[in-house]
């Protein structure tokens, strides 16, 4: 049996956050590492999804080519993958010649097979930007409730779904111009023709989970509609249909085909042009997809029907590992609001295994889960350091102290030793099944049971007390503990590969030559490493928060001088300062700016006494929008320096200068 392991293609529009990483990229890596341990032939592929309007329009707004944008994001994602030890055989991108050729070939074939038809659509076109506007880039008045900035796909105010042509007084959201209506010929994929075939395939599938089956069958029962497969973007795969010179393939149809083209490209690079067929056209190949639950229909309906429409014999042994959502400290991830941690930040903060363990511990398999820094701290300090790390260190130290670092195979000497040995086998069987069922979160719980049991037996049999009177009993214990450490390291290898490899090395094993079957094969002896160190270090969530602030400060977006000059900075003198009632942080300041006095609420009560602030010449952002804090408006902001470690100092002026002077 061969496996193709894939993850959802990250959209090259922004950096993936912890939620994106756990649901797709990391989950695929855990599964792939597990399959390799089991001895399967696997190939793991994915790539950056670069095409489509959101990227094209973001590039227009920044005045650059789309590829400049995606080059940057693609490079960053690759660095994140490396930082997280996520090892794809081919992590590629959709804007590559192999992919573009493959997508065009597939659609040409589907067209020739009679599953593509054309239809004339009315679309909005911005004459200034010279682009057809995707629905959500048109803004206008909602025909239902009158809300004045409804988006072309949906009114935010009344929630009704809209057609952009319904909007009263529509405007281009990029430049504000009034769009014109143009008639354009578009191509549709005749999805309803596959309803029966898809239904039968899903119903009879032995590999799809009940969840994805029920969900997809329901969709088919409700009736499938033809799906438009072309767009008026320039940035995409040119559509291979007659009179379609200005059209590209809709990004979703383009991206799913990447699962095949990435395998093709992988073998092309090795000069084995046709070998990809041995994967995709072999009925014994299984394909695993790791995605968020919202993407299920693209993997159970769209992608398989495209493959069916080619009339070629692609394998349809699909396994779908779909996850629910991960939130961050109770909220949705939001870059603009600064809620969450992003992949590029995470790899600067902590070793990969700390993130990998915590994310899999929290993997949202059956319901949404919440990532908190407290959970991260718990996972690293308690589970990894106190339970696992401590266990391994105790075992190695005991073998070193009592047996000079070498323990030979021997049978169990007590009932408890025997139980631990058998428990190891049971746990391995259970973890094996959980991995195969893509229930990685369960694996963590299962294996940690064995860790705790092993710690308990050391406390119970107290080798430091029993060694003198019964060395044979201690030898039995230490051998079984070494076996248990080996088993734990193998079972956790897919989740924490670096740490597991270190444990195996300390036990005198070669991680590269160790597989799942070694769990069941007792070793003749263990000769442990001479120098071993604690594997994990405790962390502190306050330090992580501060370090995160520093990292964000370092990597601020570049701005031009015009943007900077929009900030009206003025010198002012604090003429009055008082604590704001019922607030721990806020001080109310009255600042003389020469021509006027402004009232500013500043969160400085932890750092300054109000009476010490009076008379200081400070720098004020004088054109900041008024903002309410605890029911009171603040009319500006004063500048202060913050080192991220709890020191905050006001910016003052070097010498005397008139209030109201411009700072630049």
Nearer to Zn ion (CB atom), residue 124 or residue 488: 124
Stretches 39-47, 117-125, 169-177, 475-483: which one binds Zn ion (CB under 5 A)? 169-177
Stretches 150-158, 332-340, 488-496, 652-660: which one binds Zn ion (CB under 5 A)? 150-158
Nearer to Zn ion (CB atom), residue 120 or residue 161: 161
| Min CB(174)–Zn ion separation in Å | 4
3-state helix, strand, coil in the chain (%, to 5): 45, 20, 35
Whether 188 contacts 228, CB under 8 Å = yes
Strand, coil or helix: what is 625?
coil
| Min CB(144)–Zn ion separation in Å | 4
Please tell me whether residue 129 binds Zn ion under the rule CB under 5 A.
yes
In whole angstroms, what is the distance from residue 455 CA to residue 18 CA? 32
Helices (H) and strands (E) in the chain, counts: 24, 28
In whole angstroms, what is the distance from residue 154 CA to residue 481 CA? 61
| Min CB(120)–Zn ion separation in Å | 23
| Min CB(145)–Zn ion separation in Å | 3
Please tell me whether residue 657 binds Zn ion under the rule CB under 5 A.
no
Out of 21, 26, 28, 126, which residue is the one contacting Zn ion (CB under 5 A)?
126
| Min CB(132)–Zn ion separation in Å | 11
Stretches 57-65, 120-128, 509-517, 542-550: which one binds Zn ion (CB under 5 A)? 120-128
Nearer to Zn ion (CB atom), residue 59 or residue 653: 59
Computed over its alpha carbons, how large is the radius of gyration of the chain?
Answer: 30
Strand, coil or helix: what is 173?
coil
Nearer to Zn ion (CB atom), residue 174 or residue 219: 174
Size of the site for Zn ion (CB under 5 A): 14
| Min CB(49)–Zn ion separation in Å | 25
| Min CB(54)–Zn ion separation in Å | 15
Please tell me whether residue 125 binds Zn ion under the rule CB under 5 A.
no
Nearer to Zn ion (CB atom), residue 145 or residue 521: 145
Out of 69, 142, 388, 586, which residue is the one contacting Zn ion (CB under 5 A)?
142
| Min CB(155)–Zn ion separation in Å | 3
Out of 78, 83, 125, 174, which residue is the one contacting Zn ion (CB under 5 A)?
174
| Min CB(7)–Zn ion separation in Å | 35
Could you count the other beta carbons within 10 Å of the beta carbon of residue 409?
A: 12
Stretches 92-100, 172-180, 401-409, 579-587: which one binds Zn ion (CB under 5 A)? 172-180
In whole angstroms, what is the distance from residue 484 CA to residue 350 CA? 28
| Min CB(150)–Zn ion separation in Å | 5
Please tell me whether residue 157 binds Zn ion under the rule CB under 5 A.
yes
Q: What are phi and psi of 238, to 5 degrees?
A: -60, 130
Please tell me whether residue 155 binds Zn ion under the rule CB under 5 A.
yes
Please tell me whether residue 79 binds Zn ion under the rule CB under 5 A.
no
Alpha helices in 411-470 (DSSP H): 415-436, 440-461, 463-466
Please tell me whether residue 172 binds Zn ion under the rule CB under 5 A.
yes
In whole angstroms, what is the distance from residue 167 CA to residue 439 CA? 46
Please tell me whether residue 1 binds Zn ion under the rule CB under 5 A.
no
- Name the region of 271 (left: φ>0; alpha: ψ -120 to 50; beta: rest): left
Please tell me whether residue 168 binds Zn ion under the rule CB under 5 A.
no
C-alpha distances (whole Å) from 248 to each of 234, 476, 610 are 7, 68, 63
Nearer to Zn ion (CB atom), residue 12 or residue 172: 172
Please tell me whether residue 496 binds Zn ion under the rule CB under 5 A.
no
Stretches 69-77, 144-152, 381-389, 427-435: which one binds Zn ion (CB under 5 A)? 144-152
Out of 67, 83, 96, 147, which residue is the one contacting Zn ion (CB under 5 A)?
147
Instruction: Write the secondary structure of 469-534 as one string of H (helix), E (strand) and C (coil).
Output: CCHHHHHHHHHHHHHHHHHHHHHHCCCCHHHHHHHHHHCCCCHHHCCHHHHCCCCCEEECCCCCCC
Nearer to Zn ion (CB atom), residue 161 or residue 561: 161
Residue 566 burial by CB count (10 A; 0-12/13-18/19+): exposed, middle or buried?
exposed
Residue 658 burial by CB count (10 A; 0-12/13-18/19+): exposed, middle or buried?
exposed
Please tell me whether residue 60 binds Zn ion under the rule CB under 5 A.
no
In whole angstroms, what is the distance from residue 598 CA to residue 467 CA? 78
Strand, coil or helix: what is 341?
coil
Whether 84 contacts 21, CB under 8 Å = yes
Write b or e for each residue in 505-539: b if 16 or more Cβ atoms lie within 10 A of its Cβ, otherwise e: ebbbbebeebebebbeeebeebebeeebeebbeeb
Nearer to Zn ion (CB atom), residue 157 or residue 327: 157
| Min CB(127)–Zn ion separation in Å | 8
Nearer to Zn ion (CB atom), residue 37 or residue 167: 167
C-alpha distances (whole Å) from 645 to each of 344, 353, 545, 560, 584 are 21, 26, 10, 29, 19
| Min CB(14)–Zn ion separation in Å | 22
Nearer to Zn ion (CB atom), residue 174 or residue 529: 174
Please tell me whether residue 175 binds Zn ion under the rule CB under 5 A.
yes
Stretches 174-182, 217-225, 284-292, 356-364: which one binds Zn ion (CB under 5 A)? 174-182
Stretches 175-183, 226-234, 266-274, 477-485: which one binds Zn ion (CB under 5 A)? 175-183
Write b or e for each residue in 357-376: b if 16 or more Cβ atoms lie within 10 A of its Cβ, otherwise e: bbbbbbbbbeeebebbbebb
Out of 64, 177, 436, 657, which residue is the one contacting Zn ion (CB under 5 A)?
177
Out of 112, 128, 203, 543, which residue is the one contacting Zn ion (CB under 5 A)?
128
| Min CB(353)–Zn ion separation in Å | 48
Strand, coil or helix: what is 231?
strand
In whole angstroms, what is the distance from residue 364 CA to residue 370 CA? 9
**DSSP states of 531-548:** ----S-----HHHHHHHH
Stretches 108-116, 118-126, 534-542, 650-658: which one binds Zn ion (CB under 5 A)? 118-126
Please tell me whether residue 73 binds Zn ion under the rule CB under 5 A.
no
In whole angstroms, what is the distance from residue 475 CA to residue 480 CA? 9
Whether 43 contacts 4, CB under 8 Å = yes
Residue whose structure tokens are 């990809």:
276
Stretches 86-94, 158-166, 206-214, 478-486: which one binds Zn ion (CB under 5 A)? 158-166
Out of 64, 145, 425, 575, which residue is the one contacting Zn ion (CB under 5 A)?
145
Out of 136, 144, 227, 293, which residue is the one contacting Zn ion (CB under 5 A)?
144
Nearer to Zn ion (CB atom), residue 142 or residue 569: 142
| Min CB(13)–Zn ion separation in Å | 19
Please tell me whether residue 640 binds Zn ion under the rule CB under 5 A.
no
Contacts to Zn ion by CB under 5 A: 126, 128-129, 142, 144-145, 147, 155, 157-158, 172, 174-175, 177
């Amino acid at each position: 049996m061969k496996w193709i392991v894939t993850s959802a293609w990250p959209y090259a529009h922004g950096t993936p956050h912890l939620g994106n990483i756990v649901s797709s990229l990391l989950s695929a890596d855990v599964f792939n590492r597990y399959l390799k341990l089991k001895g399967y032939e696997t190939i793991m592929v994915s790539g950056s999804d670069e095409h489509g309007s959101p990227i094209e329009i973001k590039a227009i707004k920044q005045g650059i080519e789309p590829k400049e944008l995606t080059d940057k994001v693609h490079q960053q994602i690759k660095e994140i993958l490396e930082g997280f030890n996520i090892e794809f055989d081919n992590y590629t991108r959709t804007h590559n010649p192999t992919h573009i050729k493959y997508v065009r070939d597939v659609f040409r074939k589907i067209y020739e097979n009679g599953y593509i038809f054309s239809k004339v659509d009315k679309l909005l076109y911005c004459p200034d930007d010279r682009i057809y506007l995707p629905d959500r880039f048109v803004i206008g008045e909602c025909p239902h409730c009158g809300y004045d900035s409804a988006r072309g796909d949906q009114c935010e105010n009344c929630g009704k779904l809209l057609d952009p042509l319904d909007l009263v007084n529509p405007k281009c959201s990029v430049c504000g111009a009034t769009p014109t209506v143009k008639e354009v010929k578009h191509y549709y994929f005749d999805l309803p023709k596959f309803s029966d075939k898809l239904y039968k395939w899903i119903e009879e599938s032995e590999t799809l989970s009940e969840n994805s089956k029920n969900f997809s069958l329901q969709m088919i029962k409700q009736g499938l509609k033809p799906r438009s497969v072309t767009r008026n973007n320039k940035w995409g795969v040119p559509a291979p249909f007659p009179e379609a010179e200005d059209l590209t393939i809709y990004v979703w149809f383009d991206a799913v085909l990447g699962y095949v083209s990435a395998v093709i490209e992988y073998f092309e690079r090795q000069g084995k042009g046709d070998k990809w067929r041995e994967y995709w056209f072999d009925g014994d190949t299984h394909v695993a997809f790791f995605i968020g639950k919202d993407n299920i229909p693209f993997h159970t309906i769209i992608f398989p029907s495209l493959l069916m429409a080619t009339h070629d014999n692609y394998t349809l042994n699909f396994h779908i590992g779909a996850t629910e959502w991960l939130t961050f400290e109770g909220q949705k991830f939001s870059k603009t609001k600064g809620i969450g941690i992003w992949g590029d930040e995470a790899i600067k903060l902590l070793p990969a295994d700390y993130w990998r363990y915590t994310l899999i511990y929290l993997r949202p398999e059956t319901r949404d889960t919440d990532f908190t820094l407290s959970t991260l701290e718990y996972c690293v300090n308690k589970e990894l350091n106190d339970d696992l790390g401590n266990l391994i260190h105790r075992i190695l130290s005991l073998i070193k102290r009592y047996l000079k670092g070498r323990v030979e195979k021997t049978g169990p000497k007590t009932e408890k030793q025997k139980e631990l040995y058998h428990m190891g086998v049971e746990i391995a069987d259970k973890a094996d099944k959980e991995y195969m069922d893509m229930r990685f979160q369960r694996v963590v719980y299962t294996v940690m049971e064995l860790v705790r049991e092993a710690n308990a037996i050391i406390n119970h049999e107290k080798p430091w007390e029993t060694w003198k009177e019964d060395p044979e009993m201690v030898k039995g214990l230490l051998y079984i503990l070494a076996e248990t450490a080996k088993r734990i390291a193998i079972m956790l290898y897919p989740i924490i590969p670096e740490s597991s490899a270190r444990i195996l090395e300390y036990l005198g094993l070669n991680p590269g030559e160790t597989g799942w079957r070694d769990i069941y094969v007792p070793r003749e002896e263990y000769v442990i490493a001479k120098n071993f160190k604690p594997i994990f270090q405790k962390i502190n969530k306050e330090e992580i928060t501060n370090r995160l602030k520093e990292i964000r400060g370092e990597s601020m977006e570049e701005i031009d001088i015009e943007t900077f000059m929009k900030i009206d900075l003025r010198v002012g003198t604090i003429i009055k300062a008082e604590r704001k009632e019922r607030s721990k942080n806020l001080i109310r300041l009255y600042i003389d700016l020469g021509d006027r006095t402004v009232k500013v609420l500043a969160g400085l009560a932890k750092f300054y006494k109000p009476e010490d602030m009076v008379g200081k010449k400070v720098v004020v952002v004088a054109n900041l929008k008024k903002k309410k804090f605890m029911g009171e408006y603040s009319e500006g902001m004063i500048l202060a320096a913050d080192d991220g470690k709890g020191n905050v100092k006001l910016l003052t002026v070097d010498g005397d200068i008139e209030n109201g002077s411009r700072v630049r």
